[in-house]
Structure 1
Amino acid sequence: MYLKHKIFGKLFNFFTKLPIDNNLISFIVDSNESFSGNLEYIKDEFEKRGNFNFNFYYKDKLSLDSLKKLATSKYIFLNDNFFPFAFMKCNNQTTVIQLWHAPGAFKKFGGSVENASMLKMISNNTDYLITSSKHIENYYSEAFQIDKSKIKPLGLPRADYYFKNHDVDKLRDNFNKEYGVDSSKKIILYAPTFRENEEFNNVFNYLDLEKFNKRLSDEYVLVLRLHPKIKKFYSSEISVNGDYVDCSDYKNEQELLLLSDILITDYSSIMIEFGLLNKPIIFFAYDLENYLSNERGFYLDYKKDLPGPIVYTSDELIECIDEGIDSSNLDSFVKTQFDEINGNASKRIVDFVLNEGEKNG
């Protein structure tokens, strides 16, 4: 695998001898879907500033023309790891910015849980890592093996979505029609994460749907959004009976968060983004002790620092929803994950990049 990355690096480095195009911005993507988050918001913001040209370099396609554009770009943006960067030596007039796709800091990742030598090499060739808060700087420095001076807490670009004018009533009407949902019912979104231990991936072994619906279905509808790796652990036939609505393939996750009234999750970072909406979150951690012992762990104290109650059984979950959810810790938690909550993250990032570009030009 390293050989493949090294060959890519050599090809890239050959083209860096060519002149830099000061109006060219490259985005490294792996699919059309990967462009729909942070990168799209950054592109939109650049388009407001001037006559820039954009190059999309697809990780899984070797295009010499696109590679040449990548090597001669003024700015390169990433949203995920790109391992060839360990061997790529950009022109000193090029600025490389890692936006990262996940908000805040919850589950440990990268250099916090695995061999970090490759990540260190990548970070040496990265100019800036954008995070959502100064409070998580130490975690990201460890995860990326990057010097703190390169970390800039400017925000999460795609979080700007929640501050735009959305016709929520129209979105909900469309949702109701597509899935046959009663408009009078509130939406409970259940978004469990994937476990390495297969025993705990079938959530319906732990969530009693019959009890859940008997107690709550007059007021709520349960909407399920499964991690792609979990699908094989449950039977879709259950949804045919109307016990829940399967939205695992719903294209716009942010729209789904916007429409939901309550989030049930466990160890998923989706809760950080949902927290921006100031709506209740419940943590259904039926396998917590096993997860703490055998999975990658957390940057925070799971039992003390979460922005919502933790429940361990179906009965506790149902009772929590029926009696009222304690969200008293939500505001303080969100403030540790986001320094500024105003919908201007993309603007701050582009302002910073352009100003730094002027200094280094």
Structure 2
Amino acid sequence: MFPKRWRSREKKSQLVQRFDWIFPKNSKKLILVVKKNTEFSGNLRVCADLILKCGKHKVFVYKDDSMPSSIKIALKKQGIIVLEPNSWRSFYHILTSGTCVFSHVPRDAHLTKKHKDRKILGLWHGVAFKNIESQMLSVADSKMQLIKNNAKLYDLLIASSEIDKQYMAKSFLVNEDIIDVIGLPRYELLKSSYLFDELLDWQKKKLNGIKSDRKFILYAPTFRENGSSAFDQIDNKEWLLLNKFLEDNNSVLGLRPHSYDNKRPPLITEDMDNIVWLSQEVFTESNLILQFVDILIVDFSSIWIDFLLLDRPILGFAKDFDHYCNQERGFAYNFDDTFPDIFAHNFKDLIQSLNQLLANDSQFTEYFHAKHKFHRYSLQTDYLDTLAGSLKRLKII
């Protein structure tokens, strides 16, 4: 293990930079890199499934932080090697890997320099709706320098549509030529036919039991930069009213926190039969949850862009709408022209909108304009195949 004085991100980056040129890269060694405070999921998971299916690589997962034991066990059963943080062994594999795949950015594996024998793939974890990277409202000079440096490292980024491609290029400060519009691999997880490992199969059975014969509503807000939680915007009286509303309408509400948000549900909801906490640690795949969802409630998170592919109703809800719009990150697109349906600014309007939807037996809602804007492909597409095309072009598989 590293001495404590070498465990800062800066020290690790210096260490990799110092020795990177010495170690030869192995083209058959691939590392999937998970960002701190998130879990192995989404695009990385589907990419891993593809690489394992091809059978030509030794596959590793690295996270510069602890990882739940359930995920470690599931990965090892698949034949994936889990690299521990702050170990010499992990750094050896980072230094010798021929391909690194990121859910976020190269600095998550302490890489700062381009190497001619190493491919860097950015499988950004979702379609941007809020501003990201260089397009955030306020970016410190040091952060901007990191973004500019990362831009030199990428061999491939992916996008879901042409407009998403343009925004990715602007945000990451890269040339559009390295961005492939292939759709996000994680869209495969929206399909009930997708083959899961034991861990996800357990989660799927658990979700099926939660839903039972009820309507499943999901509330999945994003985090706030100031550390407050969107769940705290609903007071105790409103939680009680909401639980009674759900009971009266044979419905269940799942609460899905952002990975940067609260780790526990609002205290008053813990004993409520119709409200369920769907933590990232237990339910690792948002798109697996979406398979079961009849109505999605969201604020400024881009999870609704994935949900568009299922043609089911989307509701907006945030009491701090004006504050968020004016003082947080800002949006990649004009909000009013982009958000596909009604946006409630108070609890009363939210309940009214839910009541109207639950009274309507037909839940099919095709948001044609938004879907066309954000998705080149439909759920009929094989996203493993589109990803494979890009990897073949780079001679990775």
Offset at residue 290 of structure 1 (A): 1.2
- After superposition, the C-alpha distances for 1:12-70 in whole angstroms (9 at most, x for unaligned) are 42334x2x433222222357973332222112212333432223344352444443333
Alignment partner, residue 277 of structure 1: 310
Offset at residue 86 of structure 1 (A): 5.7
Q: Which runs of 5+ in 1 are unaligned?
A: none
Offset at residue 271 of structure 1 (A): 1.2
Q: Within 2, Cα distance between the matches of 1:110 and 1:339?
A: 23
- After superposition, the C-alpha distances for 1:68-105 in whole angstroms (9 at most, x for unaligned) are 33333332211112326562231x23221111112x22
Alignment partner, residue 275 of structure 2: 244
Q: Within 1, Cα distance between the matches of 2:100 and 2:239?
A: 47
Q: 1:165 to 1:246 in 2, by over 3 A?
A: same
Could you tell which deviates more after superposition, 241-250 or 117-126? 241-250
Q: Which runs of 5+ in 2 are unaligned?
A: 1-7, 66-84, 196-201
Matched, 1:34 2:39: yes
Paired residues for 1:92-241 under 5 Å: 92-102=116-126, 104-113=127-136, 114-115=139-140, 116-165=144-193, 174-175=206-207, 177=209, 183-197=212-226, 198=228, 202-205=232-235, 208-219=238-249, 220-227=251-258, 230-231=261-262, 235-241=266-272
Contact 1:42 1:346 in 2 (8 A): yes
Q: Within 2, Cα distance between the matches of 1:62 and 1:236?
A: 36
Task: Read off the aligned partner of 2:255 and give its amino acid letter.
Answer: L
Alignment partner, residue 89 of structure 1: 114
SS at match of 1:48: helix
Runs of 4+ in 1 over 6 A off after TM superposition: 170-173
Normalising by structure 1, what TM-score?
0.84
Matched, 1:67 2:91: yes
Offset at residue 118 of structure 1 (A): 0.9
Offset at residue 189 of structure 1 (A): 1.0
Contact 1:15 1:72 in 2 (8 A): no
SS at match of 1:297: coil
Offset at residue 293 of structure 1 (A): 1.3
Matched, 1:9 2:16: yes
Contact 1:189 1:264 in 2 (8 A): yes
Q: Within 1, Cα distance between the matches of 2:241 and 2:268?
A: 18
Contact 2:229 2:261 in 1 (8 A): no
Task: Read off the aligned partner of 2:60 and give its amino acid letter.
Answer: N
SS at match of 2:28: strand
Task: Read off the aligned partner of 2:353 and give its amino acid letter.
Answer: C
Q: 1:49 to 1:304 in 2, by over 3 A?
A: same
Q: Within 1, Cα distance between the matches of 2:86 and 2:245?
A: 55
Q: Which of 337, 362, 386 does residue 304 from structure 1 map onto?
A: 337
SS at match of 1:245: strand
SS at match of 2:27: strand
Could you tell which deviates more after superposition, 213-222 or 224-233? 224-233
Alignment partner, residue 336 of structure 1: 373
RMSD: 3.4
SS at match of 2:166: helix
Could you tell which deviates more after superposition, 93-102 or 39-48? 39-48
Offset at residue 333 of structure 1 (A): 1.0
Q: 1:207 to 1:120 in 2, by over 3 A?
A: farther
Q: Within 1, Cα distance between the matches of 2:257 and 2:37?
A: 21
Q: 1:5 to 1:148 in 2, by over 3 A?
A: farther
Alignment partner, residue 321 of structure 1: 354
- After superposition, the C-alpha distances for 1:309-351 in whole angstroms (9 at most, x for unaligned) are 1111222112212223898662321222221223422322222
Q: 1:74 to 1:300 in 2, by over 3 A?
A: same
Instruction: Count how many residue pairs are aligned between Structure 1 and Structure 2.
Output: 352
- After superposition, the C-alpha distances for 1:132-159 in whole angstroms (9 at most, x for unaligned) are 2221122212221222222111221121
Q: Within 2, Cα distance between the matches of 1:350 and 1:311?
A: 41
Q: 1:56 to 1:11 in 2, by over 3 A?
A: farther
Task: Read off the aligned partner of 2:118 and give its amino acid letter.
Answer: T
Q: Within 2, Cα distance between the matches of 1:124 and 1:254?
A: 31
Could you tell which deviates more after superposition, 196-205 or 264-273? 196-205
- After superposition, the C-alpha distances for 1:149-181 in whole angstroms (9 at most, x for unaligned) are 2211122112111235169xx97774465x5x6
Q: 1:106 to 1:207 in 2, by over 3 A?
A: farther
Matched, 1:355 2:393: yes
Identity %: 25
SS at match of 2:395: helix
Contact 1:73 1:94 in 2 (8 A): yes
Task: Read off the aligned partner of 1:13 and give its amino acid letter.
Answer: D
Q: Within 1, Cα distance between the matches of 2:182 and 2:172?
A: 17
